[in-house]
Amino acid sequence: MNKHNKTLGEFIIDNQQAFQYSSGELSRIINSIRLAAKVVNYKVNKAGLVDIIGGVGAQNIQGEDQQKLDVYANDVFIQTLINREIVCGIASEENDDFITVQGNDNSHNNKYVLLMDPLDGSSNIDVNVSLGTIFSVYRRITPIGTPVTLEDFLQPGINQVAAGYVIYGTSTMLVYTTGHGVNGFTMNPALGTFYLSHPNMQFPENGKIYSVNEGNYIHFPQGVKDYIKYCQSEEEDRPYTSRYIGSLVSDFHRNMIKGGIYLYPTSSKAPKGKLRLLYEGNPMAFLAEQAGGKCSDGENRLLEIVPTELHQRVPFFCGSKNMVDKAEEFMRNAKEK
């Protein structure tokens, strides 16, 4: 890697003035995520060698089996953030309820809450497929000095001040936005340092990849079935290529670089959708829009949905703008029939 590439630390310092409330906390949150990601990355990369793969015999609030590495990643991120005293609250897909964070002096003076999916794609842990961490940051809305409440977490995605993901793949990358475009940083494993490798990431307006679990085809709404048939038809520049990894971070990352759409619609098995609005939907929607893409629930802009519960699920259509527009068109047409 070019030794002149800017490090993540240098990039954060250079862009400090771009943060709306530039008092250093947001920079320290990104730095904490960088640190926790390095620890989790180390464990992910030796997962097959130690007793950390497999299930723990417990389920999370979603009723999904928790993997050992899920629990480990959750603990690492939570402890790193608590120890650095930079957030006033944390919500995780792995925890039933949000965590209130106090300062050493028992104060509640920090301004930000963080929401996360600590290990996305964890069903792929045992088979050595890319995993990810997704995070989302909001400025609290309750008065500083008081403990956080549920209200601080149930904010629409348009209120996010930062969001991003870490992808633990052939290389480990941290990709994030603070509302001024999307930048990707690749870790040099020899040094443990993240370097700016993908400045100003952009979704191509059009793409030729569609990512959806076609095994659920029979359960999908008619509009989604029609769109999949469109993707498969031999007209114009089609058929498109089907690519579905089963790790949202990996599928999103590939589609942002190559151009594509990711679909996780409602189905008769998951009538509200499966992805979580707060831990997956909103951060990915923020990234998509900052990279010139689009994200909706099939009808409405995802970032404008007002959440009503911590673990709310949502249908998810995200990717290259023209592809999402076309999928929404099929959803509208199916409803009108």
Instruction: Find the CATH number of the domain harbouring 310.
Output: 3.40.190.80
Phi first, then psi, for residue 64 (nearest 5°) are: -95, 145
Structural domain ending residue among the three candidates 198, 229, 259? 198
Instruction: Find the CATH number of the domain harbouring 158.
Output: 3.30.540.10
Answer yes or no: do 256 and 318 share one domain. Answer: yes
Whether residue 3 lies inside any domain: the answer is: no
Does 119 count as an annotated binding residue?
A: yes
Whether residue 1 lies inside any domain: the answer is: no
Does 120 count as an annotated binding residue?
A: yes
Cα–Cα distance measured from residue 124 to residue 134, given in angstroms and rounded to the nearest whole number: 16
CB atoms within 10 A of CB 71: 19
Q: Where are the alpha helices (DSSP H) in the chain?
A: 8-14, 25-45, 68-83, 150-153, 222-232, 248-258, 282-290, 321-336
150 neighbors 158 (Cβ within 8 angstroms): no
Q: How confident is the model over 211-225, as pLDDT tens digits?
A: 999 999 999 999 999
Whether residue 95 lies inside any domain: the answer is: yes
Cα 97 to Cα 61, 121, 190: the distances in Å are: 9, 21, 38
Mean pLDDT of 20-37: 84
Residue 69, CB-side half-sphere exposure with 13 Å CA sphere: 30
Answer yes or no: do 26 and 160 share one domain. Answer: yes
Task: Quote the domain boundaries for residue 276.
Answer: 209-336
Q: How confident is the model over 90-122, as pLDDT tens digits?
A: 999 999 999 999 988 888 999 999 999 999 988
Q: How confident is the model over 252-283, as pLDDT tens digits?
A: 999 999 999 999 999 999 999 999 999 999 99
Answer yes or no: do 310 and 185 share one domain. Answer: no
Strands 172-177 and 182-188: antiparallel
Does 14 count as an annotated binding residue?
A: no
Answer yes or no: do 72 and 95 share one domain. Answer: yes
Cα–Cα distance measured from residue 146 to residue 312, given in angstroms and rounded to the nearest whole number: 25
Answer yes or no: do 98 and 140 share one domain. Answer: yes
Answer yes or no: do 167 and 221 share one domain. Answer: no
* 65: confidence class by pLDDT, cuts 50, 70, 90: low
Structural domain ending residue among the three candidates 198, 230, 261? 198
Does 38 count as an annotated binding residue?
A: no
Does 117 count as an annotated binding residue?
A: yes
Whether residue 297 lies inside any domain: the answer is: yes
Answer yes or no: do 179 and 217 share one domain. Answer: no
Q: How confident is the model over 139-163, as pLDDT tens digits?
A: 999 999 999 999 999 999 999 999 9
Answer yes or no: do 31 and 168 share one domain. Answer: yes
Answer yes or no: do 180 and 300 share one domain. Answer: no
Range in 61-70, 194-203, 221-230 the model is least confident about? 61-70
Does 121 count as an annotated binding residue?
A: yes
Residue 56, CB-side half-sphere exposure with 13 Å CA sphere: 14
Structural domain ending residue among the three candidates 144, 175, 198? 198
Answer yes or no: do 180 and 234 share one domain. Answer: no
Whether residue 203 lies inside any domain: the answer is: no
Nearest CA among 14, 117, 139, 6 for reference residue 67: 117
Does 264 count as an annotated binding residue?
A: yes
Listed in sequence order, the residues at least 6 apart from 297 whose beta carbon sits closer than 8 Å to its beta carbon are 273, 305, 314, 315, 316, 317
Answer yes or no: do 46 and 124 share one domain. Answer: yes
Whether residue 24 lies inside any domain: the answer is: yes
Whether residue 154 lies inside any domain: the answer is: yes
Cα–Cα distance measured from residue 157 to residue 290, given in angstroms and rounded to the nearest whole number: 13
Does 244 count as an annotated binding residue?
A: yes
Does 213 count as an annotated binding residue?
A: yes
CA-only gyration radius of the chain, Å: 19
Does 217 count as an annotated binding residue?
A: no
90 neighbors 99 (Cβ within 8 angstroms): yes
Q: What is the total count of domains within the chain?
A: 2
Whether residue 235 lies inside any domain: the answer is: yes
Does 168 count as an annotated binding residue?
A: no
Answer yes or no: do 269 and 180 share one domain. Answer: no
pLDDT at 47: 66
